[in-house]
């Protein structure tokens, strides 16, 4: 920082000296670079918290709706977003509590998951009157 203490620090400028208008940019650049590095490091982690490789299909319909995501990993564990679902019977109530007014969900199931947990989740969501959109990936794209 730069200070100009003239006239005993009384705050008045003498008529012959111009105002000091220098801005020290170095601390600002340091903070911006640190934030950029933090963002670059954490950006890929924010994509999905649970590692699920969805099945590949020949045709995939693109959807940009903002819906709750029900995830089933390889081991058959069910998550609502990133939080585990303890009892499958409570899945509909948990969705309604976290996302009031939602009538549809996305289902992301790992392609190596046994069909039984997927069928149970689909049956439970159907009984709770939720429309289910299954997330898949086209053959020609890389894994996210």
Chain-centroid distance, C-alpha 44: 10
pLDDT band at 111; cut points 50, 70, 90 = confident
Is pLDDT larger for residue 95 or for residue 136? 95
Tokens in use for 119? Answer: 């069928």
Cα angle 41-137-113, degrees, rounded to a multiple of 5: 90
pLDDT > 70: what percent of the chain? 72
Tokens in use for 110? Answer: 């790992």
Alpha-carbon torsion angle 116, 120, 123, 128, nearest 10? -170
The CB density around residue 105, as the number of other CB atoms within 10 Å, is 22
Please give the domain boundaries of the chain with CATH numbers for all domains: 7-43 (no CATH), 56-138 (3.30.420)
Is pLDDT larger for residue 127 or for residue 5? 127
pLDDT > 90: what percent of the chain? 20
pLDDT in tens, 113-125: 888 888 999 999 9
pTM above 0.85, yes or no: no
Q: Please state, in angstroms and rounded to a whole number, the distance separating the CA atoms of residues 51 and 139.
A: 19
pLDDT in tens, 127-140: 989 998 888 777 77
Q: Please state, in angstroms and rounded to a whole number, the distance separating the CA atoms of residues 136 and 71.
A: 12
Q: Please state, in angstroms and rounded to a whole number, the distance separating the CA atoms of residues 104 and 77.
A: 20
Q: Is 80 exceeded by the pLDDT of residue 75?
A: yes
Is pLDDT larger for residue 5 or for residue 35? 35
Q: According to DSSP H, which parts of 1-144 are helical? A: 26-43, 91-98, 115-127
């Amino acid at each position: 920082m730069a200070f100009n203490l003239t006239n005993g620090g009384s705050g008045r400028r003498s008529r012959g000296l111009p105002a000091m208008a220098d801005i020290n940019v170095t601390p600002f650049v340091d903070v911006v670079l640190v934030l950029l590095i933090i963002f670059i490091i954490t950006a890929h982690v924010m994509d999905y918290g649970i590692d699920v490789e969805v099945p590949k299909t020949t045709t995939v319909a693109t959807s940009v709706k903002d819906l709750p995501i029900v995830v089933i990993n390889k081991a058959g564990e069910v998550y609502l977003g990133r939080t585990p679902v303890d009892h499958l019977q409570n899945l509909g109530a948990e969705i309604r509590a976290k996302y009031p007014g939602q009538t549809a969900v996305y289902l992301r199931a790992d392609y190596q998951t046994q069909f039984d947990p997927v069928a149970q989740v689909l049956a439970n969501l159907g009984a709770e009157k939720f429309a289910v959109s299954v997330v898949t990936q086209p053959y020609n794209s890389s894994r996210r």
